[in-house]
Amino acid sequence: MAESRTTAPEERTPRNEASASRRAVADLTLLANLRPTGIVFDCDGLLVDTEPCWTVGETAVFASRGLPYGPREKARFIGLSVPATSALMAEIFGEVGSEDAITEYVLGMVADVIAAQAEPMPGAVELVRALAGRVPIAVASNSPRRLVDLSLARAGLAGVPDAVVAADEVVHGKPAPDLYLTACARLGVDPSASVAFEDTITGLTSARAAGMTVIGVPSLEPDGFPADLVFGSLADPGLLAWARAL
């Protein structure tokens, strides 16, 4: 469910290793001069590792119809909003018109798994807590509010962001800009002077449409990820040092 991650990783070669190293040095230089008025984080796949939880829930839904759920099926769902997920399932199952029932079943399954198993992504808690109180921070998620709240609580981040915006609180989810625009409005900051952290192209497109600078922490290979700055992990020491210097 956390925005699209369907591209296969690039093969690592000496040439692209060198290119990645040069990009990393350049990005650290740019980061040092970045002083945002607000920061907005994606949640799924960036702050909290919820993708395995969605896989468990989606697998159960398919199994209840006697259908397999493997990598090919998974690739069709990553990045979709909850309504789009339910609509695609209804189409696959031949149950068009039952989207609401499918939604409730899936959300119930996923909520149970998140509450029991979801873990924070490496460096997420340290970075968010380092930023808290230094700059207004928010979370903008393509998941519904009840799952976002469960995810943040499981990660130990409940109550830390100054604002949280979920997909069921805006008209259009990502890749539309609504979530980021709403998050910036709740923080009282100008999107063009603020930074978004994203791990997917869908989320990056949303933040860019809102006029924000985007720091990418891509879920797959960072090479070619078209963010303004790209890091391999929120645990990158350069990010934590930058946060503490704001």
Q: Where in the sequence numbering do the catalytic residues fall?
A: 42, 44
Torsional sign, CA 185, 191, 196, 198: positive
DSSP string, the chain: --S---SPPPPP-HHHHHHHHHHHHHHHHHHHT---S-EEE--BTTTEE-HHHHHHHHHHHHHHTT----HHHHHHHTT--HHHHHHHHHHHHT-TT-HHHHHHHHHHHHHHHHHHH-EEPTTHHHHHHHHTTTS-EEEE-SS-HHHHHHHHHHHT-TT-SSEEE-GGGSSS-TTSSHHHHHHHHHHT--GGG-EEEESSHHHHHHHHHTT-EEEE--SS--TT--SSEE-S-TT-HHHHHHHHH-
- The angle formed by the CA atoms of residues 6, 9 and 13, to the nearest 5 degrees, is 165
Tokens, residue 159: 């109550």
Within 10 angstroms of residue 238's Cβ, the number of other Cβ atoms is 16
